[in-house]
Structure 1
Amino acid sequence: MTSVVFVHGTGVREDSYRKSYNRVATGLKRLRPDVRLVPCYWGDRYGAHLAFDGACFPERDQDRALPTADADDPLAVWGLLERDPVAEIELLADSAEEDDGGFVPGRTDPWDVLAARLRCLTEEDLAPGGSAASASTRSLAAELAPYLRQAAEEISAEISMRLSGTAPVPDSEAMAARAVIVLTTRLAEAAEDAEEPLPVDGADRDRLVALLTDRLGGTDRGIKDAGKWVGARLLGDPLLWTVSPAVQAGRRRVIRGVLPESGDILRYQGRGEGLRSRIAEVVALTREQDDGPVVLLAHSLGGVASFDLLALEPSHGVDLLITVGSQAP
C-alpha cells in the first residue's frame, strides 16, 4: 500500500493541523481509497514558543517612567473594556485556577450556566422597566437593543472557551454584563458607520449593566469594586504590566497569533535538525508498518525541511516528494 506522510508548514498548531489533515484525508479517500495517510505533526515540539511565558516587559520597579495604574480607580475597568470588550475575561482567564471540585453527578459548570443564560438574552431584556428609568437610559437601550443578541452570543463563546473548567468567581454575572454592553455599543457604532463614538452617559451605561446583571441572575458588585480587581491584577502580575492597560489586554493574544508564523521559520533556520529528524522518524515508522511506496506531501516550511532532509541524507527510503506552497518546488 502506498503511504502518504503529510507534513504541515509554518504557524500550524494542533487544532489547525487536525483540520488540514482531515481535509487531505477526505480528498485522498475520494480519489485514491487505496492510499494510507500518515500524520507528521511537529508544531508543538519543534515550533516557536515564548520562553518564560513571555516575560519580556519591564516591571514597575525597573522603569519608573511607566505610568501608574490606580488600583482604586473605578474607571480602570472601562478603560480596558472600551478598547477590548473581553479584556476583563482575559485577565480572569490568565489568573484562573482549575476547578478542583471533582466530578459530581448532575453538577453543571457555573461558567457554562452563565454562557447559556447569555445566549438566552433578547432585545426585550435591555428594556428598562418602570417609570423610574430616565429618558436618556431608555433612548440608549433602544439604540443598543438590536445588537444585544449578537454581542451576548460572542461573549458567551468567549466565556465558554476561556473560563469553562475553571473555578467560579463572585459577581461573574456583572463581569459578563459589562462585556456585553461594551460590545453591543461597538456593534451599534459599526452598523451606523458613525464617524464619532456613540455618546454614552456613564450613569445610563451603569443602569443597563445593572439591568443585564439582574437578568443573568446576579447582583452588580459596582464598578468601583471591579476597578479595584482589575487594577490589582495589573499591578500585581509582572507579565501583565506594560506601557498601558489597553496594550496589555490584547498583548498575549496578538503575540500568540503572530509568533508561530515567523518564529517557526527562524527556529528552523537556527536549529532545523530537530524538525528534519521528526520527518525521518515518521518515514521510518511508516516503512516498518508497510513496505509499500512512501510519499512525502509537505506544505510550506514542511516542504523546505523535507527537501533539506533528502538532500542531506538521501537514504531515507522516500519514493516521492510533493511540496505545496513551498520555497522548495
Structure 2
Amino acid sequence: MTSVVFVHGTGVRAASYEKSFARVVSGLGRARAEARVVRCFWGEEHGASLGLGGASIPVRTQNRGVGGDALLDEDDPLAVWALLEADPLAELREFAEAAKARRGGGAARVGFAPGRRDPWQDTADKVRGLSLKAVADGGGSLGELATDLAPHLGTAGARVAHEISRTLGGTPPVDGIEQIAARAVYALAVGLAEGLAEGPRGVGEPVEADGADRDTVVGALTEQLGGTGRGGVAAGAAKGIAVRALNSYLSPISSLAHRYRGRITNGSVPASGDILRYQARGAGVRAAIRAAVREAAESGDGPVVLLAHSLGGIACVDLLADATEPPPEVALLVTVGSQAPFLYELDALTSLRRDEPLPDAFPRWLNVHDEHDLLGFVGEKVFPDRVTDLRVNTRQPFPRAHTSYFAHQRLYELLAPELPR
C-alpha cells in the first residue's frame, strides 16, 4: 500500500493541521482510494512561540496614520476578492453611493407611503434567510467549505441586511445588488470563521477554499436572492469599485496595524516565526519527518510519498539532499507552494549549496504551484531533468492562494497517476 506522508508548512498548529489532513484524506481518497495518508505534524513541538509572553513587542503610545502608496492593479480579475479580503462591506458601500448618485441625477427618493413597503427591505429579508444547504449536500470540497461557513452565515447575512437597509433604504430600486450582497455575505462568513471579528487581523485558523467552490457558493447565494450566479457586475463595474475602495482603504488599515500591533504580532508568530526558527533549529523538523517516513514504511509495507506544503517542502528537500543519511524509503517527493527552488537559487538551503546538484539518490520530485501564489516557486529550470512542475489554478488571490491548494480537487487528480503503487 502506498503511504502519503503529509508534511505541513509554516504557521500550522493542531486544529489547522487536522483540518488540512482531513482535506487531503478526502481529496486523495476520491482520486486514489487505496492510498493511505500518514500524519507528520511538527508544529507543536518544533514551531515558534513567544517564550517570554511578548516582552519584545514595544508599546505604542500614539496612533499615527501611515499612508500606503501601493495601488491595486485595475486589470487584475481578482481585484474584487482582494478588496473583500480587506473589507467585506466595501463593495456594497460603493454600490450604495452609486445608487444615491443616480438619485441625485434625477431619480426621486421613494420616501414613506402608507401600505407601501420599501423594496430594499425585501432584499434585506432575503439576505437574512440565505442558506447553504443545497451546496452542503453536494459533498466533496464544496460541501466541506459550506460546512465551514454555515455556522456563520446567519450573522454575516444579518450584517449585510443591516447595511442594505441603512444605506439603500428609501432609494429607488437599482439592478445588480444580488451578487454584490452574496459576495459580501460570503466574505463576512469567511472572516467570522477565521476569527477576524476579534480585530483587524484575527488569530483563527484559515478557511481553505478553492476559487471554483467559492464561486459556486456565491452563485448559489445569488440565485436565492433572485440574481444570476456569474458575470454581470463582477465582470465590469466591480473591478473599478475594488480599485477605488481598496486604494482608499490602505491608509486607515496602516493606522489600525499600529494600534493592534501586539495582537497582530502574536497572531503572526506561528507563520513568520516558524520560518526563522527552522533556519536556526531545523534539525528537529527534519527528524520528525524522518520518523514519520520510517513509521509509514514499516506499517504500510509499500512505497512512501512525501506530500509537503510550503516550509514543509523546504524541510523535505533538506532532508532528502542530506548526503549523510537520506531516508531511502521515499519514492516520490511532492512539494506544494514551496520556496525550496527559490532558496536554492539564493544559496540558502541547509543541505545543498547553490553550485551542488541534487544527489543521485534524491527521489523523483513533483513541484506544484499556483501562479497567484507569491510564495510558490518553480523548479524545472533550477534543477533541470530532476523536477517536474505542475501548475494548478485555485482561482484565489494571494495570500489565500497559498493556503487553498488542498481544497482544490484538481491537485489530487494530477497527483493520482503519479503516485507509485
TM range (shorter): 0.3 to 0.5
User: Which structure shows the higher helix fraction?
Assistant: 1
The higher radius of gyration belongs to 1
For normalisation by structure 2, the TM-score amounts to: 0.37
Q: Which has the higher contact order (CA 8 A, sep 6+)?
A: 1
For normalisation by structure 1, the TM-score amounts to: 0.46
